[in-house]
Amino acid sequence: MSDLVQTVLIYALPVIFAITLHEAAHGYAALRLGDNTASVLGRVTLNPFPHIDPVGTILLPLLLYFSTSGAFLFGYAKPVPVRFDQLRHPKRDMVWVALAGPGANLLQALIWGVLFYVLTGNGITERFFIEMCKAGMLTNVVMFAFNLFPLPPLDGGRILVGLLPWRQAVLVSRVEPWGFFIVMALVLTGLISAWWMQPLMGLTFDFLKLTLSPLAAVLR
């Protein structure tokens, strides 16, 4: 139990940052591209509270974590409202708004990696902080990969709709009302992990390692 509590404390800050910046990035991108809906509702903010869903962000992840001893974890934040018809170029700008969230996670993974090398390079070996840096990288890489899965309402699905020709885009967008249930079924069966998450996460970690290698060499 003490190990579980410590793990929760290590992951708490990285998860809060990952969720908050992911959602705020969607709202900021929409604002820059013509839709101020999220801004008016106070969702373009670094304050985590407007983005937190009591069930999806707190209760569900904690219940799953403690009931499975950390073997399975899932959660979600309040989706940022975007009126795509208010965007200056709705179909094209939808892609940029959707990309903003995973992009924020990839940037955070990079920042946590920088912090990891700075700490270890300066001889700081405090386990709590080192593990928090690792947790920050892992959390954001997981969010980056998962949200890019090409099925609405995930960001990857919206990107796919924005890139496809109109007829195919309409067909894909019709899946959205059932998309969450389809994704959950793929998660529970392990298909999304084996076919999507593991390959994309591997490529993402390789990218981060390559990008951070000059810093690692300097601090070594």
Q: Which residues are catalytic?
A: 23
At CA 87, angle to CA 100 and CA 25, rounded to 5?
20
What's the CA gap between 180 and 183, in Å, rounded? 5
The half-sphere exposure of 33 on its side-chain side, counting CA atoms within 13 A, is 26
Number of helical (H) and strand (E) elements in the chain, helices listed first: 10, 0
Task: Please return the burial class of 158, using the count of CB atoms within 10 Å of its CB with bins 0-12, 13-18 and 19+.
Answer: buried
- Whose tokens are 């920042």? That residue is 111
What's the CA gap between 130 and 149, in Å, rounded? 30
How far is residue 200 from each of residues 18, 52, 189, 205, measured CA to CA in Å? 18, 27, 18, 9
